[in-house]
Structure 1
Amino acid sequence: MVGGAAVAAYVSLPPGLGRDGLFLVVGLAQAAALVAGVRLHRPVSPTPWLLMAAGQMLWVLASVVGAATGETAAIDGSPGLVDVCYLLGYLVLGIGLFQLARIRRPPRDLGGFLDSAIITVGFSLLCWEIVAAPSLAAYDGSGAGTALVVAVAYPLADVMLLGVLVALLTIPGRRLPALRLLTTALVLLIAADLGTAALRGVSSAGPTAMNPLWLGSYVVWGATALHPSMRELSVPTTAEPRLGPALMTALTLAVLVPPGVLAVQQLAGRRLDVWPVLGCAVLLISLMIFRLWLAIAQMTTAIRARGRAQADLARQASLDPLTMLPNRTQAMRLLAGALAQAKRSGTRVGLLFVDLDGFKAVNDRFGHGAGDEVLQVVSRRMAAVVRNGDVVARLGGDEFIVLLERITVSEEARAVAQRVVQALAETILLDDGLRAAQVGASVGIALSQDADVEPDVLLNEADIAAYRAKAGGRGRAEVFDQGLREELRQRAVVESGLAAALSADELELHYQPIVCVDTGEVEGYEALLRWRRDDALIPPDSFIPIAEESELICEVDAWVLQRAAQQLALWTRDWHRPDLVMAVNVSGRHAARARVIADVADAAQAAGIDPARLVLEVTETAMVDDPAAVVHLSELRSRGFAISLDDFGTGYSSLARLEQLPLDILKVDRKFLDPDVPSAAKLLPLIVHAGHAFGLTVVAEGVEHEHQLATLRILGCESAQGYHLGRPVRATDVRPATAGRQPTSPSGLPQAQAAAPATRP
């Protein structure tokens, strides 16, 4: 606003000392603003701005000299000190602007340089025709030769400024406010110069007619330096060069200048200025050809780079980033290709499913970083022992496969599998030998039996064989043979039959009493699942392990929870036993699923029973193998449900874990009451005392003799169950468990249960 007021005041003042003084003050203010902007915003490269300030000071000096001596710029007269100062000012300003453009332009932006050169050359011809050519035509040769040089130097200075401005505008990136202001200042300056040259000899105002434009240029230039964006204008741009609409328009207009000049001269009846126009046209055509060649080269380079990037992406998408082996997707693609090739050639394909043993322990002990290092070592060892042409791939986690083509006999696959087992059994040194990790491998072998086998089927067969190898002792290889194939078929039959049994009402629950060791009173029952098919009971061991390998077990568990809770509610009402509890087994897979919380809560709510009377029995293995199970059971325990650790002593059996798990009851496995187990008599007291030490109620299962019950009584074990106390029977065969000790048969069993079928849970 102050600058605008100064320009308005200048226009309103009459010619004289006051007007000249205001012109000098505005010029000095511009130089001061440039220096102040540098000190205020501290650009990374202050040199360009200081050079602009120096150039402005040279112009101020020229104005002072002119005011003192009455001398003016001699565009068509004799040159003097004023011209020297003005032209030096142009030169210093041009150098400063060029430095700014050089700093801001991205490195190796040859295309931007050519664009600015084309536009500058095209519009330079206009400057020549408007200013330089008339000056040359007016020169009669009577004066000094320096006068001609000076007359041509002024338009050339404007051409220089125009070229630098175009160079700045063709730099890619955001159009900063400081850049817009600087562009405005340069446009005003060039317009003032060209206007002065055009009016000389035409208007009586002479060189002072354009002074308001010069003043406006000074004001805007100073505002450029004071704007905060000048700091960003002084650093290299990170934008990618591109040919935008504005740049394309400017290039087109620049190329049309030579023919446009000739057309105007022809229409105006003036002498055709052929040689300058021809020289400009030749230079423009040369630059345009070079620019076109560069654009084609850049496009070709970009296409090649894109092709390489796409190839890299495709390669990365097919590789496991940790081991650089083919990933699961690529492995299945290679397997499908190998099976198709085997079908054409009449050969067989072998597939090894490699499941690492002990890898989880490495992660738990040394951390996931060490686990990654182990996987990398494992992948290298496997690649080193397979045959030439065999493919090692990582499916994910600690699972790998080896694709074997052109297998003639199964012994070839067995030999490769054995080498893999031996290689992975060797100790792995971590951290340059500072730590040692030990893993192994269970390997499943599957061979294509016919030409139409699907990749997923072959992978599943190898997986099943690896599972059997792991179950058989680990560190070994197992072939998916006809026996396994038949077993798989039988399992599929059982699984589909069990799914149908849920809706066909073929499942039923048997209940075994849980008795207080001291009083003999029935405290509750354990609900045990049975499958009655064609009037025959299918043993639980025949279908529950199969169900636990799929999500079907969750549906079975939910059914058991609902029926057991309903039965407990019925007995509570009929027997007047609000203290009676019901124990229900929950599979590890179900416990690890979030739905278990809703399944348990819904069953208790639908039956209208207190959550504390529903005991959820979960094995040690289920809690240790999946941390999610512990989280879900903790939530259920917080809602009032009791959690029992089932079959303690058959899994990891770490007493230290008892304090970390959400437990209320510790259930001792039957083997600790077995007289044929040598260590049972010594371990049983330790387990009972440990349970009490952690504040748990202890329940012993497998009580089949009175002396076992007496031992438990001595140890302080609270509860027990077993054949000696009652066999599992259907709900209709359970004798009402009213408060107090139940009448027993001569065998020690409750009378209604002594004659029940001897079916073990």
Structure 2
Amino acid sequence: MRISGPRRGATIAYVFLGLSVAQTLIALIVGSTTLCTALLVVTSLAAIASILVGIRSRRPAFALPWWLLLASCIASAFGGMLTGALATADNPVPLTPQLIMLLTYPLQVAAAVTWLRAYAPATARTVSIDSTIVGVGALITVWVLLLAPAFAQHAPASDPRFSSATHLVFDAIVLAVVTHVAYTSARGNRAFGMIFGAFLTQLIGDGLLAIDAAQGTAIRGGSYMAVFITTYGLFAAAALHPSMVDIGTGAGSVPDRFRQRFVEVAAICMLAAAIPAARPPFGVWDQVVRAVLISCLIAGVLLRSERAVRTIAGKESDARHLAMHDELTGLSNRASLYAEHAALDRHGPFEPMSLLFMDLDNFKLVNDSYGHRTGDELIKAAAERLANVVGDRGWVHRHGGDEFVVTTYLDPERTDALARAILDEFSKPFTLRRVRVTLSTSIGIARTTGGKTPPNLDDLIREADSAMYHAKSRGTGSYAFFDDQLRASAVEQLKVTTDLTESLDDHEFELYYQSIIDVATGETAAFEALIRWHHDGIVHPPEYFIPIAESSDIIIDIGRWALGRACEQLAQWRNAIDGGNQAVSVNLSARQLRDVDFVSTVTDTLAAYGLPASALWLELTETALIDDDDIALTILEQLSSLGVTICIDDFGIGYSALGNLNKYPIDVVKIDKSFIAALGTQDEGDPKHHVLVTSIEAMSTALGLITVAEGVESADQLEQVKAIGCQFAQGWLFGMPLPMMQPWTDHVRPASQLRAQGQ
């Protein structure tokens, strides 16, 4: 099998490394100085050639560190070969080659620091301090063990103790830097792992050289030279490995993982403290040098500690900022709003304060049409525009989603002016990257009177939110103050909500039924179940309590009851009429279309009363499809697949009507009664509405849908909808909604037959 591409490059790298390790083992086992020297020369030259080939062939985008490593290997190899050429029995390690080899280490430090700055610029300074501490600790250690004895013995400059001590200090610094990069940004990179191994084996080799130098046995061909064979092999393998091109290209902010460097820093500090204590000084000059070096080490540790404290304090400050500010817009968030309110002087007196609650009208339409990224861009632009308008007149908070809160101590007149200024500013188009959007905002304003009692923030937000929806009811792009009328309405809504929770147990709900007629035959096709609430001696229509119920989860329980009661009644009618195949239509709320258990509720209810899915029609308005439309689509598709008939009610006055017909599994279109009422008589009716009804019916027929004309109240209207082509009609002409009655004897056709006729 032929190996090619990156896999082939990795194989070559591993083969080179394996050969280097094998040569190291051979040199250690044989113990021949000549063999060890020859293997080291061959490996070093091969490594230099391999690094050059790797750089030229792979062309890494961040090549500077590789050229520095190549230069360091050249200096090391040239110095080593020059040592063999100039060495004598009296001077086995001449000074000139030592100075040349010494160039190796600054070049390696430069390469390591270059990678550090490329990979982790945010932590480069901290790592540099840690590496300096390691270097000072290593310097203390080599001073006591190597340098001080050499100075005390008046050793010549060519004494290997001087060079080996220098090598160890640089090794410690380089390894500290490389350790950080290897365990953070370059983690998992095979080539950088080999570089780390190269520096580690180099430290081991220099350590063996230092031991020989301290004992006066530093001769060419020692065991340290065998270890250097592996060092060259690792450098070469790293340059040949395909992952070498990725080193240094992943620059970015990465967390500082001090734990990986802690072992090295702690070990060198412990050595720096223990070794001077175990070795007595050679004189006052030695004591002074030790004191200076230890002082430098302590200063480095203190600097590192001070920086660590500042880093922790900075992270805590960032965490507090993130906790109190919105990540997308940078505005204060809801938590900050409550924290600032809690920090107010609780002893009063309190100044009158206004709270403006606002959201972006039709924001969901933008979000759904252009995606969440455009939606986020719009939120940021709106936040910036709002902050600019408010300025120093108040404080702006993002409450969540497309909702914002402004708090201000302006008087009512100036608060009114501020609201107008916000509306004017938001009437201007937003120019985004993908689209130019024009939308408005609706604002609700609640105000405290001040005094000794602290304001309740939850009450203010609730009141301002109620005022905002009151403003929306008058049209988008407006504002409203929360006043006594709205307060009374809110109190009434709270009372109704409370009463509704008890009404199911008190059996206060009842279903009324209205016929849906086949206009061609006059036969009853189905019945719509309409809920009524008997409370306080009054029969309340759904318009009174359903909108309030939909503001809480009580609508789920009411809807479940209505579904069960309608199916129970239908089952009784079918059993009373042998072979009856009646259908019943039940209205759905928007919250039921977000109830993940709704499909199982329908199937369980049908099974409980022995009804087929075709016996059930479910009616929903277009507005019920606006929120969480993906969830609604999933639920409706599941119901349709069961055979349940899906009807869209009040068609033509809602949101994105044509799109809903195409998107959702609709079976029946119920044309809103306002269009039918405008038909009037054939002589006096509005021709525009006649065209609209005709267009809706034609479009529905083309899509294979059934049409039901709602609100038919006269024979003339019936004739018109029949002429237009509507298959079914519903309205007071055929009877008012009535409570449970005896089974109808008319022929009633199931929904499946209706769909077949519609097609």
Report the TM-score when normalising by structure 1: 0.79
For residue 280 of structure 2, the aligned residue among 261, 265, 290 is 261
Indicate how the Cα distance of structure 1 residues 188 and 563 shifts in structure 2: closer, same or farther if over 3 A, else same. Answer: same
Counterpart position of 2:439: 439
Counterpart position of 1:27: 37
For residue 189 of structure 1, the aligned residue among 209, 215, 222 is 209
Instruction: Name the aligned partner's letter for residue 724 of structure 1.
Output: L
Instruction: Name the aligned partner's letter for residue 692 of structure 2.
Output: L
Counterpart position of 1:89: 97
Bigger CA drift: 1-10 or 575-584?
1-10
Instruction: Name the aligned partner's letter for residue 631 of structure 1.
Output: T
Equivalent-residue separation in structure 1 for 2:206 and 2:137 (angstroms): 19
For residue 355 of structure 2, the aligned residue among 333, 336, 351 is 351
| Max Rg structure | 1
For residue 139 of structure 2, the aligned residue among 104, 107, 120 is 120
- 1:686-697 aligned at under 5 Å gives the runs 686-697=695-706
Q: Which runs of 5+ in 2 are unaligned?
A: 1-21, 55-65, 117-123, 183-192, 750-759
Instruction: Name the aligned partner's letter for residue 28 of structure 1.
Output: A
Give 1:51 deviation, angstroms: 2.0
Equivalent-residue separation in structure 2 for 1:666 and 1:550 (angstroms): 28
CA contact (8 A) 1:584 1:615 kept: yes
CA contact (8 A) 1:165 1:183 kept: yes
Indicate how the Cα distance of structure 1 residues 444 and 117 shifts in structure 2: closer, same or farther if over 3 A, else same. Answer: closer
Aligned residues: 666
Give 1:54 deviation, angstroms: 1.8
Indicate how the Cα distance of structure 1 residues 333 and 389 shifts in structure 2: closer, same or farther if over 3 A, else same. Answer: farther
- 1:134-153 aligned at under 5 Å gives the runs 149=156, 153=159
Taking CA–CA contacts closer than 8 Å with sequence separation of 6 or more, which of the two structures ends up with the larger relative contact order?
2
Q: Are 1:500 and 2:502 matched, yes or no?
A: yes
Equivalent-residue separation in structure 2 for 1:364 and 1:507 (angstroms): 38
Instruction: Name the aligned partner's letter for residue 544 of structure 1.
Output: I
Instruction: Name the aligned partner's letter for residue 652 of structure 2.
Output: G
CA contact (8 A) 1:30 1:56 kept: no
SS of the residue corresponding to residue 520 of structure 2 reads: coil
- 1:25-104 aligned at under 5 Å gives the runs 25-40=35-50, 42=54, 44=67, 45-62=69-86, 72-73=89-90, 86-104=94-112
For residue 668 of structure 1, the aligned residue among 671, 678, 695 is 671
Give me the identity figure in percent: 27
Give 1:218 deviation, angstroms: 2.2
Give 1:529 deviation, angstroms: 0.7
Bigger CA drift: 586-595 or 460-469?
586-595
Indicate how the Cα distance of structure 1 residues 598 and 453 shifts in structure 2: closer, same or farther if over 3 A, else same. Answer: farther
Counterpart position of 1:646: 649
Q: Are 1:220 and 2:227 matched, yes or no?
A: yes
Counterpart position of 1:546: 548
Instruction: Name the aligned partner's letter for residue 437 of structure 1.
Output: V
Equivalent-residue separation in structure 2 for 1:32 and 1:481 (angstroms): 93
Q: Are 1:249 and 2:257 matched, yes or no?
A: no
Instruction: Name the aligned partner's letter for residue 246 of structure 1.
Output: A
SS of the residue corresponding to residue 703 of structure 1 reads: coil
For residue 639 of structure 2, the aligned residue among 621, 630, 636 is 636
For residue 491 of structure 1, the aligned residue among 488, 493, 503 is 493
Equivalent-residue separation in structure 2 for 1:101 and 1:382 (angstroms): 52
Equivalent-residue separation in structure 1 for 2:648 and 2:610 (angstroms): 25
Give 1:161 deviation, angstroms: 4.1
Give 1:663 deviation, angstroms: 0.5
Equivalent-residue separation in structure 2 for 1:566 and 1:328 (angstroms): 47
For residue 693 of structure 2, the aligned residue among 665, 681, 684 is 684
Give 1:353 deviation, angstroms: 1.5
Indicate how the Cα distance of structure 1 residues 187 and 372 shifts in structure 2: closer, same or farther if over 3 A, else same. Answer: closer
Instruction: Name the aligned partner's letter for residue 120 of structure 1.
Output: L
Give 1:659 deviation, angstroms: 2.5
Indicate how the Cα distance of structure 1 residues 116 and 307 shifts in structure 2: closer, same or farther if over 3 A, else same. Answer: closer
Counterpart position of 1:620: 622
Counterpart position of 1:297: 303
Give 1:466 deviation, angstroms: 0.9
CA contact (8 A) 2:131 2:173 kept: yes
Report the TM-score when normalising by structure 2: 0.79
Bigger CA drift: 240-249 or 121-130?
121-130
Equivalent-residue separation in structure 2 for 1:247 and 1:590 (angstroms): 68
CA contact (8 A) 2:34 2:221 kept: no
Give 1:535 deviation, angstroms: 5.1
- 1:280-429 aligned at under 5 Å gives the runs 280-337=286-343, 340=345, 344-363=348-367, 371-386=375-390, 388-405=392-409, 407=411, 410-425=412-427, 427-429=428-430
Give 1:592 deviation, angstroms: 3.0
Equivalent-residue separation in structure 2 for 1:418 and 1:378 (angstroms): 16
Give 1:565 deviation, angstroms: 1.4
SS of the residue corresponding to residue 344 of structure 1 reads: coil
Equivalent-residue separation in structure 2 for 1:420 and 1:155 (angstroms): 78
Equivalent-residue separation in structure 1 for 2:397 and 2:29 (angstroms): 80
CA RMSD across the alignment: 3.4
Instruction: For residues 581-623 of structure 1, give each alpha carbon's deviation from its aligned partner in whole angstroms, at most 9, with x where no partner exists.
Output: 1110001221133232222222212222111221110111212
Equivalent-residue separation in structure 2 for 1:114 and 1:27 (angstroms): 35
- 1:589-604 aligned at under 5 Å gives the runs 589-604=591-606
Equivalent-residue separation in structure 2 for 1:682 and 1:128 (angstroms): 104
Counterpart position of 1:529: 531
Equivalent-residue separation in structure 1 for 2:237 and 2:283 (angstroms): 38
Instruction: For residues 673-724 of structure 1, give each alpha carbon's deviation from its aligned partner in whole angstroms, at most 9, with x where no partner exists.
Output: 2245634333222222222111111112222222333333333322222222
Equivalent-residue separation in structure 2 for 1:318 and 1:180 (angstroms): 46
Instruction: Name the aligned partner's letter for residue 519 of structure 2.
Output: V
Counterpart position of 1:430: 431
SS of the residue corresponding to residue 409 of structure 2 reads: strand
Equivalent-residue separation in structure 2 for 1:167 and 1:651 (angstroms): 72
Indicate how the Cα distance of structure 1 residues 577 and 460 shifts in structure 2: closer, same or farther if over 3 A, else same. Answer: farther
